Amino acid sequence: MKRLKQKDLEITGLIASKDPVHALVQTVESLFNGGASQVIVVDDGSDNADSILVFEEVEALGARVIHLPKNVGKAMALKIGFAEIPYGSVIAQADDDTLAGNLMIPMRILAKGKADIVDIRVETNRTKSLVGLIQELDYWMINAIIKRGQNLFRARLWMSGASVMYSYAAGQIMILSPALTITEDTEGMFRAREKGMRVRFCSRKKAQFITMVPEEYKSLRRQWKRWSQGNGQVIGLYGLGGRLRRVTLMNIFAWVALIIFPILAIIISGFIQTLEWLLGFSLVISIIGAISLRRFAVIFVFWLLPVISIVWIFHAIEGLAKASKEPMSPKHLTWVSPKRTTFR
């Protein structure tokens, strides 16, 4: 791949937002502080009067806001915003409740020709609820173990639309093509990879994004259901690997580890022994995670990890079943998760 000249590149932040709260102002500010020369925010048909003041604050920071008359969905909103980005830019895409880190670190990966898409480490803002603490540990585990493992084999299975950077050429494939699933970010990654684009994971702490997460189970369940169904839809469209054998093998391993292995463990060892093993493993992971996050409270949710694993299995099966009935979802309206006004 031909190297990009970093000195000639400009970073453009891209956000799709509906009915934002003040966190959007902090998100835009973080993109500018991280190295973006411009930020484009697409108002996806907001109908909350308070959001007008938020968009005005965003414009006062120097961002450009594109107001859409109706809600068209995140995928379409990003497409409209992307059309306004100058050719040759590097795009840093974020959600409207996510703080960006040092954008120059992932940009160097693109500039050196090591990748076309960089999935940037994302961790959660500090939470107060039990559900929130579980997610703090869960996000850490995904970044510290799972994403790093997948990146080692160059076999990323999903991508976070809340923290990603990509070249203009990759964006043309990821964003401009119509989204056919409810996980437009992962679908875009598979689509781009089929065209030869390379994906890397940036695990650097200084570059990581911080995102808000739902702190009550009903919203969390809705989010997990969307992820599992969306990934099932992606498999239906692109197969297990999108024509890449290593991705196929990684996907098979992931689904076996998620669904089949726990069931076999219970059959072979019994429920009690399997639960004891899971609790011991969860305690070790929780201690390491708490030390890494400098978050002592995380240790106390270790006993819930086996429960979360069971819930994940349920959602995975439910998502795959629903994806088989709804193989495509071309109409995907923006889902607004419960947000706090500002970051803690």
Q: pLDDT per residue over 238-294, tens digit each?
A: 888 888 899 999 999 988 888 888 888 889 999 889 888 889 989 999 999 999 999
Q: Is residue 125 part of a domain?
A: yes
pTM of the model: 0.89
Q: Is residue 310 part of a domain?
A: no
Model pLDDT, residue 344:
58
How many domains in the chain?
A: 1
Under 8 Å between Cβ of 44 and 12: no
Model pLDDT, residue 49:
86
Domain that holds residue 133: 10-213
Model pLDDT, residue 5:
54
- Residues making up the chain, counted from first to last: 344
Q: Is residue 245 part of a domain?
A: no
Q: Is residue 285 part of a domain?
A: no
Q: Is residue 258 part of a domain?
A: no
Model pLDDT, residue 2:
46
All residue ranges of the chain with pLDDT < 50 are 1-3
Q: Is residue 71 part of a domain?
A: yes
Residue 164: is it exposed, middle or buried by C-beta count within 10 angstroms (0-12/13-18/19+)? buried
Residue 25 belongs to domain with CATH number = 3.90.550.10
- Three-class DSSP category at 339: coil
Model pLDDT, residue 128:
86
Model pLDDT, residue 338:
53
Model pLDDT, residue 226:
83
Assigned token pair, 146: 């799972």
Model pLDDT, residue 330:
56
- Three-class DSSP category at 140: helix
Model pLDDT, residue 236:
87
Under 8 Å between Cβ of 227 and 219: no
Model pLDDT, residue 1:
41
Q: Is residue 1 part of a domain?
A: no
Q: Is residue 315 part of a domain?
A: no
